[in-house]
Amino acid sequence: MALRNLSKLKIHKFGIRQFSKEANLVSVAVNDKTGVATLNLQRPPVNSLNLEILSEISSTLTDLEKNKTRGLILTSKNEGIFSAGLDIMEMYKPDVERMKKFWTTLQDTWIKLYSCSFPSVALINGHAPAGGCLLALSCEYRVMFKNCTIGLNETQLGIVAPQWFISSMRNVIGQRQTESALTQGRMFKTEEALSIGMIDEVVENNEEGVARAAAFLKRFERIPPMARAMTKKYIRKETIENMVKNREEDLKNFVTYGTQPAVQEYLGAYLQSLKKKSKA
Ligand SMILES: CCCCC/C=C\CCC/C=C/CC(=O)SCCNC(=O)CCNC(=O)[C@H](O)C(C)(C)COP(=O)(O)OP(=O)(O)OC[C@H]1O[C@@H](n2cnc3c(N)ncnc32)[C@H](O)[C@@H]1OP(=O)(O)O
């Protein structure tokens, strides 16, 4: 059954039900027995995050919150790529009004994911550069496939990861590792990411990944949800408040900095290198 609004969702016992948003850039499967929702990113070819998919992720998170979901598994329908990060086309030769809407929607999505009351796991079943890494870092637990890469590679593109991207990483792997990783724009292989605590577990395949994600969520079965949610809120409060307080300035920085000729040149060259690679 396709539903436009998950808030109309009625939970039946047992079974898994699939829901797709109107444009189908994400789909949601709710396990009626556990109340756990799996949110699949499905924007071929590489789940790059443009305005439309971010809007769908954002509204899905609102719906899941309203429906008191018991947990979230964030993953990709496109095995091999979790998400290629922000869609560079949103930043290259941009229409400034759309660019503003795009960034505001990214901010909203991050706030909702970072502060969601339910436990969240990223099942990283493929590469997760930049914005893809940000989504994963915003969850509470990360399970990752072998032979993939993850990291905030912005400096390699000649752009700067905003403060809240940096805080999201620092809160997981600490100041020293973050400084070293971000100044180099370093992408970590799965085993390296595990060794610095950027991810929590390595899995062989999707079945094992889903099982490990479910096992993490099960840890909260007997923890009163309100106590859990308040604790998470207190722990993440400072990071979220900093971002919310500065979001207007962050938007201004993004537009001012992102439209500079030197930055546009870097982005253009990077896009070319991606295209050449895919044609080789
Ligand atoms: C002072 C304060 C300043 C504050 C603000 C300033 C700046 C803002 C900072 C903005 C932050 C941005 C964060 C980001 O997320 S930027 C995006 C970074 N992403 C990447 O670098 C990933 C690039 N992609 C890859 O590495 C690979 O594509 C891959 C994900 C590993 C997948 O590899 P593969 O399966 O081999 O696929 P292809 O490489 O062949 O790609 C297929 C297809 O998709 C296009 N594409 C790939 N990634 C993106 C992308 N992120 N955006 C748009 N398009 C992308 C690629 O060009 C191919 O297209 P064609 O088929 O047309 O050739």
Q: What is the ipTM of this complex?
A: 0.96
Is 251 inside a domain boundary? yes
Task: Specify whether 86 is catalytic.
Answer: yes
Is 1 inside a domain boundary? no
DSSP 12-55: PSSSEEEEE-TT-SEEEEEETTTTEEEEEE--TTT--B-HHHHH
Provide the domain count of the chain: 1
Q: List strand residue ranges (DSSP E) for the chain, in order.
A: 16-20, 26-31, 36-41, 71-76, 80-81, 120-124, 126-129, 141-145, 149-151, 188-189, 201-203
Q: pLDDT grade, residue 10 (50/70/90)?
A: very low
Of 48, 86, 163, 274, the one to substitute when testing ligand 1's pocket (max ligand atoms within 8 A of C-beta) is 274
How much is the pLDDT for 79?
83
Residue 46 Cβ inside 6 Å of ligand 1? The answer reads yes
Q: pLDDT grade, residue 11 (50/70/90)?
A: very low
pLDDT in tens, 109-155: 999 999 999 999 999 999 999 999 999 999 999 999 999 999 999 99
**What's the CATH code of the domain at 151?**
3.90.226.10
How much is the pLDDT for 9?
41
How much is the pLDDT for 69?
94
How much is the pLDDT for 22?
55
- Host domain of residue 27: 6-279
Give the distance from CA 151 to its chain's centroid: 12
How much is the pLDDT for 70?
95
Specify the ligand 1 atom closest to the Cα of 162: 4
How much is the pLDDT for 4?
31
Residue 273 Cβ inside 6 Å of ligand 1? The answer reads no
Residue 132 Cβ inside 6 Å of ligand 1? The answer reads no
| Range 53-62 average pLDDT | 98
Task: Specify whether 131 is catalytic.
Answer: yes
Is 255 inside a domain boundary? yes
Q: State the CB neighbour count (10 A cutoff) for residue 16.
A: 12
- How many residues appear in the chain? 280
Is 222 inside a domain boundary? yes
Q: pLDDT grade, residue 8 (50/70/90)?
A: very low
Task: Specify whether 154 is catalytic.
Answer: yes
**Cα 65 to ligand 1 centroid, rounded to whole Å:** 30
pLDDT in tens, 155-212: 998 899 999 999 999 999 999 999 999 999 999 999 999 999 999 999 999 999 999 9
Q: Which one of the listed residues 71, 85, 131, 258 is annotated catalytic?
A: 131
Task: Specify whether 106 is catalytic.
Answer: no
pLDDT over threshold 50, residue 217: yes
* Residue minimizing CA distance to atom 29 of ligand 1: 84
pLDDT over threshold 80, residue 81: yes
How much is the pLDDT for 279?
72
For residues 47 and 53, what is the distance between their CA atoms, to the nearest angstrom? 8
pLDDT in tens, 230-277: 999 999 999 999 999 999 999 999 999 999 999 999 999 999 999 877
* Residue minimizing CA distance to atom 43 of ligand 1: 45
Residue 86 Cβ inside 6 Å of ligand 1? The answer reads yes
HEC string for 128-145: EECHHHHHHHHCCEEEEE
